[in-house]
Structure 1
Amino acid sequence: MKMLVNIILPIEPFNSLVRSGKASEILGRIIDDIKPESIHFTEIEGNRAATMIVEISDASQIPVVAEPWFLNFEAACEFKPVMTPDDLMRADLDKLAAKWYDVHLL
């Protein structure tokens, strides 16, 4: 299952790691290990942040993705399942609407 992972990197310890020259090396190791489908760096709530898409086939893989961020950057990680357009089409929304839509609710 594809997961969107938001990673919020607090100002510290990230600033200290940047000053010591270690931040880039640690980021590279994490990204090489996780192998996200995509990763983009941004800002969330005034903090450095990253958003990535990863493939999770089993719930036991969540710590594999999150722990490097927790342990190295004291980051917060949020996991959200996401769908591709093909996934959404396979959900057969028309059939679900026919089953669950009740005209009397309007």
Structure 2
Amino acid sequence: MKMLVNVILPIEPFNSLVRSGKASEILGRIIDDIKPETIYFTEIEGNRGAVMIAEVTDVAQIPAISEPWFLNFEAACEFKPVMTPDDLMRADIAKLAAKWYDVHVL
């Protein structure tokens, strides 16, 4: 399953790692290890951040994705399952609506 992972990188220790020249090397190692489908760097909650899509076939993989961020940057990680349009079509929401829609609710 695809997971949207938001990584919030606090100002410290990131600033110190940038100053020491280690931030880029650590980021590269993490990205090479996780191999996200895509990753973008942005601002999240006033901090540096990353937004990535990672394939997670087993929930036991979540620590392998989050621990490098936790241990190296004291980051916070948020995991959200996401669907492609094809995934949504396979969910057959019309069938679910027929099963669960109650005209008396409205």
Give the shorter-chain TM-score range. over 0.9
Q: How many residues align?
A: 106
Identity fraction in percent? 85
Q: Can you give the 5+ residue segments of structure 2 that lack an aligned partner in the other structure?
A: none
Q: What is the root-mean-square deviation in Å for CA atoms of aligned residues?
A: 0.3
Q: Which runs of structure 2 are paired with 1:11-90 in the superposition (5 Å)?
A: 11-90=11-90
TM-score by length of 1: 0.99
The two structures have a TM-score, normalised by structure 2, of 0.99
Structure-1 residue corresponding to 2:7: 7
- Secondary structure class of the residue paired with 2:30: helix
Compute the displacement of 1:11 (Å).
0.1
1:24-62 Cα shifts (integer Å, max 9, x gaps): 000000000000000000001100000000000001100
Deviation of 1:83 (Å): 0.2
> Structure 1 stretches of 5 or more lacking a match?
none
